[in-house]
């Protein structure tokens, strides 16, 4: 059995889950993930640009194009952090609820929201502290659910997917973008060296925190491969599931429908 499969077997009640390469209790994972994002919150946006040489902006634009937010729609952007996806969707007129378990990330997002230029066409933005595994909204509340670079940090991914399904209305759509495993040989080797050596150094230089960025690399490696994660989305009840791979699978956009 692969380590990734073990990871979601934990949803069925085994005692440890992976925090990067370490096995820890579920409570400790949730706490330590919280520490990671509290530590990086203020430098998170700068680090994203530095780490991806700005490429995350293009991935996020592409993701939002796939979601096709419509004016007046209600969209839950789970693990929305500092608001990158939410702002792009609100600019298309959708009303966005940005949910995240970490108040420090949300605070940066709310501050950015105040500095944004709004127009008559801009949709509303609400920031709320929520755990993806247990969402406070009534069933069928949203037209779409998005989660970007968030699900791999969630302790019980199966629970989070079940909640995504529950809060969507029938006909609602689910979109998830996450780092995955590139299948391009050559690029894979370069990417591994970059992840192991350069990323933690950049984390130290820019955010003063190498360990958090080491965790982010490890959490990517532990995350289920594209086909396996697609199966998890299907198992949660979604149909018409699709995966779009970027950079040979280094990043993947998953989608599905609630019928």
Ligand X SMILES: C[S@@+](CC[C@H](N)C(=O)[O-])C[C@H]1O[C@@H](n2cnc3c(N)ncnc32)[C@H](O)[C@@H]1O
Binding stretches for ligand X (CB under 6 A): 33, 37, 78-82, 84-85, 100-102, 105, 131-133, 148-150, 153-154
| Sequential DSSP letters for 93-149 | T-EEEEEES-HHHHHHHHHHHHHS---TTPPPEEEEE-BTTB--SPTT-EEEEEEES
For residues 242 and 205, give the distance between their C-alpha atoms in angstroms, rounded to a whole number: 38
At its nearest, how many Å lie between ligand X and the CB of residue 120? 27
At its nearest, how many Å lie between ligand X and the CB of residue 128? 10
Nearer to ligand X, 73 or 77 (CB): 77
Buried b / exposed e along 214-232 (16+ C-beta atoms within 10 A) = bbbbbbbbbbbebeebbeb
> Any alpha helices (H) in the chain, and if so which ranges?
3-9, 26-40, 44-51, 55-67, 84-90, 103-115, 157-167, 187-193, 199-207, 210-222, 226-235
At its nearest, how many Å lie between ligand X and the CB of residue 85? 6
Nearer to ligand X, 11 or 84 (CB): 84
At its nearest, how many Å lie between ligand X and the CB of residue 186? 27
At its nearest, how many Å lie between ligand X and the CB of residue 132? 4
Nearer to ligand X, 181 or 186 (CB): 181
Nearer to ligand X, 13 or 186 (CB): 13
Nearer to ligand X, 1 or 12 (CB): 12
Q: Which residue is nearest to ligand X (CB)?
A: 81
């Amino acid at each position: 059995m692969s380590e990734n499969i073990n990871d979601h077997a934990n949803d069925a009640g085994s005692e440890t889950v992976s925090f990067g390469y370490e096995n820890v209790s579920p409570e400790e994972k949730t706490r330590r993930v919280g520490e990671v994002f509290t530590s990086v919150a203020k430098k998170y946006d700068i680090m994203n640009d530095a780490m991806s040489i700005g490429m995350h902006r293009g991935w996020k634009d592409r993701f939002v194009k796939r979601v096709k937010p419509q004016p007046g729609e209600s969209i839950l952007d789970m693990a929305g952090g500092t608001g990158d996806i939410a702002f792009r969707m609100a600019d298309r007129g959708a009303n966005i609820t940005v949910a995240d378990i970490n108040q420090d990330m949300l605070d940066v997002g709310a501050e950015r929201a105040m500095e944004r230029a709004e127009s008559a066409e801009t949709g509303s933005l609400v920031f709320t502290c929520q755990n993806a595994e247990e969402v406070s909204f009534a069933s069928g509340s949203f037209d779409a659910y998005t989660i970007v670079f968030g699900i791999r940090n969630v302790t019980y991914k199966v629970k989070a997917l079940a909640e995504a399904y529950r809060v969507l209305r029938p006909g609602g759509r689910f979109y998830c973008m996450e780092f995955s495993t590139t299948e391009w040989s050559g690029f894979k080797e370069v990417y591994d060296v970059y992840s192991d050596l350069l990323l933690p150094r950049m984390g130290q230089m820019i955010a003063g925190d190498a360990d958090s960025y080491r965790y982010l690399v490890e959490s990517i490696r532990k995350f289920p491969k594209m086909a396996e994660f697609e199966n998890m989305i299907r198992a949660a009840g979604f149909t018409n599931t699709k995966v779009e791979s970027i950079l040979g699978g280094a990043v993947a956009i998953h989608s599905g429908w609630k019928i």
